A and B are shown apart, each in its own frame.
Chain A
Amino acid sequence: MRVSPSDILSRRQQIAAVALAAVVVGAFVAPQVYGQTSQTDSKVAVVEITGAIDSSSSQYVEDELREARHNDSVEAVVLDIDSPGGSPGSSERMLTAVERTAAEMPVIASVDTLGASGGYYAMLPADEIYVTPSAQVGSVGVIGPAPMPSGPNAGTTAPDKGSFHPDDARATTETIQEVFLENVMEYRGDELEKDREEVAHARMYVGVESVENGFADEVGMTDDAIYEAADRAGLSSVEVVSGLTVDEDEQPEPIPFIEADGETVAVASEEADLSPHQPLAVTPEFWHERFGDLDFEDDDPEVPTNTTDADTGGEKP
């Protein structure tokens, strides 16, 4: 005689049993559903660090890397760098974002042309630095105004409000340099074949040489860096994503054009916000190109322009 569940269990018990079975099955199925809804294929995010580094560009890189960390599809990051450096503080902001990201996933830096001074500073915590054979990296130094006393001005409330003492100017620049240098030795000290004093000479090294002396790790292109990042992340295939924080609907700003000597030339839409009156972690070439032709006498009214008379300058008001 065949006995059906309806003969053994009451109606309520039958419903409860079915509901329990549904929960058990659902619990097994839910992860797959979650995976399908929340996960896309694993990717390597390429974050570009291009041009001079200021607060705007460091904000962008920080946002990109934060998105990379929080986006479950991103398993590794490649920093695609072409920068002569910029503001020390903004470079440090990038460095911190890179370090935070490198603590969670592989980060590989790639330099095909220039990754110097603040540009080199920003990539220090990367797991590896890839350089093309002729790329230039290094320039671990700071450029600031020469430490000269400037004239007094009764429009300010204190001597250091409108001018500075050369001893203080030297100390400020030196402290920024020491922090830069300390970070280089902290993050790259084990790889560097050069001691602190040699690094402090602030020389730029060509890619092939930088791999030998430890300023970089591998000779390779950005694609090599992407494959290395994917490999470190355990990805069997490589899918690349960039511009994580860029709105797809957002159109890039058109490049303005100006007339120069009868020819129309394109100019950068916006120059990095850097001041020549502050110490900068930039290459000498960039400094001269950007600020070399400035007329500082006109730029700073607190500096006496007629200095042929000893009584007009320095601390002799």
Chain B
Amino acid sequence: MLAHRVYRLLLHAYPADFREAMGGDMADTFLDRYRSVRRSAWPGLVTFWWRTLWDVAVNALLEHRERHRTEARGRTVSHLERSRGVMALSNFGQDLRYSVRRLRKSPGFTTLAVTIMGLGIGANTAIFSIVNAVLFRPLPFENPSEIVRIFTTDSDGRTPSAVSYPDFVDYRDQADLFSGAVAHENVFLSLTGSDGSEVVMGEFLCADYFSVLGLVPAVGRAFTSEEDEPGASDPVVIMAHETWQRRYGGDRSIVGSTIRLNGRLVTVVGIGPKGYAGSTVGITSEYWLPWGSAVQVEPDEARRMESRGNRSLMMSARLQPGVTRDQAEAALNVLARRLGAEYPETNENRSVSVFPSNQVRLHPMIDSALYPVAGLLMAVVGLVLLVACSNIANLLLVRAASLRKEVAIRLAIGARRSRLVSQLLTESTLLGAAGGVAGLLIAVWAARFIVSFKPPLPIPVVIDLSLDWRVLGFTVVLSVITGVLFGLAPALRASRPDLVPTLKDETHSFAVKNRRLSMRNLLVVSQVAVSLVLLIGAGLFVRSLINSQRAEPGFETERIGTATFNLEVAYRDDVDAREFMRRLTERLEVYPGVEAVGLSDRLPLTIGAQINGVHIEDLAPPPGEDEFSADFASASPGYFRTMGIPILRGRAFTEADNRDAPSVAIVSATMARRFWGTEDVVGKRFGRGNRTNQVDTEIVGVAQDIKVRSLGENPRSYFYIPTGQDNPFIVSVVVRSSADPAVTANVIRREARALDSSVPVMESGTMTEHVGVVLFIPRMGAVLLLGFGILAMALASLGLYGVVAFSVTQRTRELGVRMALGARQSQVVNMVVAQGLALVSVGAVVGLALSALAMRPVVTLLNDVSPTDPITLGGMSLLLIVVAALASYIPARRAARSDPLMALRSE
């Protein structure tokens, strides 16, 4: 079995005599342990291998050291064992001291090598620490292996989704399966302070949530079981630790006092554990309320809790000892089938999926997208590291070549080749370790920098990047592996020079030199190729980004300020909400400088999509699709004028389009053309909604197309309904004025606060900022790729510089001969640069070919740029060649300026 063979290989780290005596038994025991671990999930396997590697490393080292100590203490050990053991250890110490000395004697090389390694390892560790924080780091529960997440699977049988409260209660009561089961719901809450209201994230959850999961409040207490009952006590809340520090400065007196959530006074009874911010990775919850308090703060919640079809809870449970995940899932599905028979409208065809808690990060659906993205990122930085390694391998090859005389002498007087190899390997591992330390420092900074690009969402996204043992372990393993990787080939090469010509001090024959050069050449070519691929990718993304930024959105962006309000948490009654919006609009319209005011429930280019079904008489949807659909939003009468969206036919909305009037809509030009061709659509009708629940709507106007979901999209079907005919939950106000739009946004907020300070603002700013949000991902992609591309290019250039510089030093004598025989300085320089450029050109061609392949799957992400865009390809190739030429030129000039006589006299 492969694992067994790998372990036997690892055993070679131990002293030979130990291996002979115990190796077989150790391999047997390893096999037994491996078999018992083999069938568990992959995190368990990774831990197992990690422990095994660590065990071998530490104990092999100790065993070597023991040999040394044994000799020192004078205990009687067999003669053979003693000499071999002592030799091995003193060799290791000797190698180490020797390597340190040699590295110190060539500071230029050492600094270069450590910098290169640091950059390569640093990039990898930075990405890994982010991946670790999102995907691997377990939540701080007690005994997390016992905790599972429970999802209802949708009627299509595949999509895991949330559970409803009545279902949760039925699942929880399976006492033989669970020692405890809890559920929580992520909610928006309105927190009112002295300077107005803001929207914060919170969770409604079971009172025993903390105790079942093993979380202990840092201050104060957890909830009591009475607080689960609606109305049994006054509302209470537990605050997150980070919120406590940030908003209240860690003042303990906040426990026991009250805060105002959703307009109600709530007593703070405790502070959550340090480092815990909710059970959903990436979403930070600040306030936790038990069900009894939840229904007092959010009256709709009581109704939602009674509805079996309202699925919004995330359920977790702790398995009883001896109960497996499979057993729990099977038992729950028996129950689910019974519920499906009892409550067919809500539970028919619903089944249950149970996942171990460490396998679900955000949600099983999203997770399956996270892993490939993480893999892709790690692959990109892995490529960068490969470039770095081949760089250093090259440097080491060149440097080892300069040792050939010394090596030849040592081999001639009988040194074992393996000794030489291990000495050179020690040096490269030392470099790797130093690079690892440098890399760790770089990674800490780089990871913080990357994560600081916060996506401008209303939800606070916090990624905890503190170094844990996984990241450190990753760095150590990576450093050692790269040290061995880039050191092995040069070490093997160096210990095999041709003895006779070297000892005779002859310049190597042409054939020999070519053979040795070809490996170095291959390394340089591959570095150049990889760098070019990364650079081209970066260039394409940057061009795509520029295209996106220049695209016309179809509406005014310059002088518009906006603010979005969450009316649902502030007002129970639609009438009150509409009244608030009417009065706010009135006040803004008369404000000095304001030209137009509009309302909508969803601004264009908001992340996500809002879609409705569209049903047209005598028009059947294409085969395979259930119904037509289109994006839509609500709009007030003033909206079109404010946003500068021209009405092409018919009319805009008026105040008369309210709840008492017939349903109307304005469609986009593309939607009109798509469903009615060249006919005039004003007056035509369509049904909006799902098939069984349509609202008959008359078209009263056609608006010009705008960009709805992204700036790079093709024109899509889009329609507007009057705000007067829509339910006011979330409303965005847009105001065009002659003033600075940032000031306008402030004015909107101020006027709203003056009217009613309990209405929270979800987001606010200029329209330009809002449109910029949708550019976040392409911008991030471009920045990351550009950063890594430049890094790879810098590494490749450094490598090229190093190779050329050292090879020129090698050829000092040859160049001296040439110049003594009459070659001009410029000819020597040209020769060296030309040889360097020849390599780079080959690398560039390979890189261009590779990029054509590599960019093809990325086409969908690019906006209006072809993956073989000649400008990008040509530009990046040119950049690379120029930089490479420079990297070759500098050492070439230095060589050419040296005195030919000195060159001839050097060995």
User: Are the chains A and B members of one assembly?
Assistant: no
- Please list the residues of chain B having a beta carbon within 8 angstroms of any beta carbon in chain A: none
